[in-house]
A and B are shown apart, each in its own frame.
Chain A
Amino acid sequence: MDLNFSSVWQYWPFLYNGALLTLKMTAICAVLGFALGVLLSLIKLSKFRPLVWFGQFYTSIFRGTPLLVQLCIVHFGLPQLLGMPLSTTQSGILTFSLNSAAYISEIFRGGIQAIDKGQYEAAMSLGIGYRDMMKDIIIPQAVKHILPSLVNEMIALLKESSILSYIGAVELLRAADQITVMTYRFFEPYLVVAVIYYVMVMILSLFAAKLERWVNRSDRVS
């Protein structure tokens, strides 16, 4: 067996910058996807039929087509309509946020529907308006229940960000590609990248477990 990791290490700035972009994209898209997802779930739960149809149609589009196809449409297709190019970062943020919103809205819808209707009635009987009721009473309880699903979605986002390499964004996977070109070695760069993804996911899971314990503090009996 002929393994040579030192040739990979000499290009560590590539990996470092790639990992940084991966993390940055994941963080931005998670936040935007979350915000859009919450909004979309409220749209789907509204009493106004056309809004509900829009929400369902939106979700079916993003769930029914491959993420890579969506990315190509945004990055290569949209500029043709807009008459201006989109940077890989812009395309990435747009596609991943919109895509993530579709999934998160479904997670949220389930979480909100699982809240006992007595909670709504108690809030209403206290004169609390719809906005405050959702923001401070219903959604915080829903988030608690769906936290594990949200973490899964964030992990998926982090891993799927690797397809940004397809449109030329120099994230972690693309950084490995570049190292293979320069070193003519394949196994080592990709293995190292796999390990970096794995470590990032593990750190995220660990953080999520801590967060989960914190939000469940009100359930502790002693």
Chain B
Amino acid sequence: MIEFRDVHKSFGKLEVLKGINFRVEKGQVVTLIGPSGSGKSTILRCINLLEQPTSGQVFIEGTDITAPKVDIQSIRKDIGMVFQHFNLFPHMTVMENMTYAPIRVNKVAKDAAKAKAMELLALVGLTEKADAYPNKLSGGQKQRIAIARALAMEPKIMLFDEPTSALDPEMVKEVLEVIKGLAHTGITMALVTHEMGFAREVSDRICFIDDGQILEDTTPDLFFANPKTDRAKAFLEKVL
């Protein structure tokens, strides 16, 4: 579903990704963990080309999206992304946030888009907020809407970039519950998170990233019980 081949990314002189190779199979849930600045968010952002790799290739369902002349838009519409800071459109109601892209990009009929949005609002438990503007919502509610907005495009892949890092502690759980509900429903998921318990519970695989490289790529049980590298051990000692 997703494949990286020797992906490098530099910002100016700073090399953030130093040759990333990894695969995510269809329906899998893969969590990237590692210290801040390790490059895990950059990996995620290379999947929908919010960052363009400096070299190397990224394949989505067999298509090399780093090749020239690739229609990035048509690839992005099948990859949902949830951001740390929600990024809801503040001038649109919840309903407008959720139906704009389906109508505009996927050419879904207005009524169908609305019906789908209501379904997803029910899924995230916020049906009563359909006509509210984002600034009337709490952080946790905003993030649940952001997840629903991404799902409204019926993506094959969902990317979560530290979805709970900007939330007050009491709102973390409601967002994690929604994400957990999506895992293993057939949608392919890549997450960056600092919630270790959650990562262990929900992931099929854990990739430990440090200094722009994947140091470990294994199952959650093996990784948390028995990390192979010293750096992963040191990291886990600090966070657990």
Which of A127, A136, A141, A221 sits near B90, CB closer than 8 Å?
Answer: A141
Q: What residues on B are CB-neighbors of A119 within 8 Å? A: 87, 89
Q: Is A132 an interface residue (CB 8 A)?
A: yes
A140 to B91, CA, bound (A): 8
A-B contact count (CB 8 A): 78
Is A127 within 8 A of B153, CB to CB?
yes
B108 interface residue (CB < 8 Å to A): no
Given known contacts A132-B104, A137-B89, A141-B91, is B50 in contact with A126 (CB within 8 Å)? no
Using Cβ atoms and an 8 Å threshold, which residues of chain A touch B93?
Answer: 218
Chain A nearest Cβ from B168, distance in angstroms: 17
B45-61, CB < 8 A from A: 48, 50
B73 to chain A, nearest CB (A): 5
Q: Does A65 contact B (CB under 8 A)?
A: no
Of B78-86, B110-118, B208-216, B220-228, the one touching chain A: B78-86
A169 vs B201: C-alpha distance in the bound complex, in angstroms? Answer: 77
Quick check: A144 and B91 within 8 Å, CB to CB? yes
B74 on the interface (CB 8 Å rule)?
Answer: yes
Residues facing A in B109-131 (CB within 8 A) are: none
Chain A's closest residue to B149 (CB) is: A126
**A10 on the B face (CB < 8 A):** no
CA of A98 to CA of B153 in the docked complex: distance in angstroms? 42
Q: How far is the CB of A15 from chain B (nearest CB, A)?
A: 41
A47 CB to nearest chain B CB (Å) = 13
Tell yes or no: A122 within 8 A of B by CB: yes
CA distance A87 to B219 in the complex (A): 79
Whether the Cβ atoms of B91 and A126 lie closer than 8 Å is no
Q: Which chain A positions have C-beta within 8 A of B91? A: 140-141, 144, 218
B150 touches A125 (CB 8 A): yes
Which residue in chain B gives the minimum CB-CB distance to A216? Answer: B91
B50 and A221 form a contact (CB under 8 A):
no
Q: Is the CB of B153 within 8 A of A221?
A: no
Interface flags, A103-136, vs B, CB<8A=1, else 0: 0000000000000101101111111110010001
Chain A residues whose C-beta falls within 8 Å of the C-beta of B101 in the assembled complex: 126-128
Residue B76 is within 8 A (CB to CB) of chain A in the complex: yes
Instruction: Kindly list chain A residues whose C-beta atoms are within 8 Å of the C-beta of B92.
Output: 218
Nearest CB to that of A136 among chain B residues? B100
Instruction: Tell yes or no: A219 within 8 A of B by CB.
Output: yes
User: Of A136, A140, A219, which one neighbours B135 at CB under 8 angstroms?
Assistant: A219
Closest to B80 in A: A125
Task: Please tell me if B77 contacts chain A, counting CB pairs below 8 Å.
Answer: yes
B76 — which chain A residues lie within 8 A by C-beta? 124-127
Nearest B residue to A143 via CB reads B91
Q: Are B83 and A118 in contact (CB under 8 A)?
A: yes
- In the bound complex, do residue B87 and residue A118 qualify as a contact, i.e. CB atoms below 8 Å apart? yes
Quick one: closest A residue to B159, CB to CB? Answer: A125
Which chain B residues border A144 with CB–CB below 8 Å? Answer: 91
The CA-CA distance from A123 to B48 in the complex, in Å, is 12
Interchain nearest-CB distance for B80 vs A (Å): 7
Q: Are B135 and A218 in contact (CB under 8 A)?
A: yes
Write out the residue numbers on chain A whose beta carbons fall within 8 Å of the beta carbon of B80.
125-126
The answer for the CA separation of A52 and B73 in the assembled complex, in Å, is 25
B206 at the interface (CB under 8 A from A): no
From B74, B105, B133, contact of A126 by CB (8 A): B105
Q: Give Cα distance in the complex from A126 to B102, angstroms.
A: 9
CA distance A124 to B73 in the complex (A): 7
Known contacts: A141-B90, A144-B91. The answer to whether A127 contacts B73 by CB under 8 A is yes
B20 interfacial contact with A, CB 8 Å: no
B136 contacts A by Cβ under 8 Å: yes
8 interchain pairs (CB within 8 A)? A121-B81, A123-B89, A125-B48, A125-B76, A128-B100, A136-B104, A141-B91, A221-B136
Q: Apart from A118-B85, A127-B106, A218-B90, list 12 A-B contacts with CB within 8 A.
A: A116-B87, A118-B83, A125-B81, A126-B105, A127-B73, A127-B76, A127-B105, A128-B101, A144-B91, A217-B133, A218-B92, A221-B136
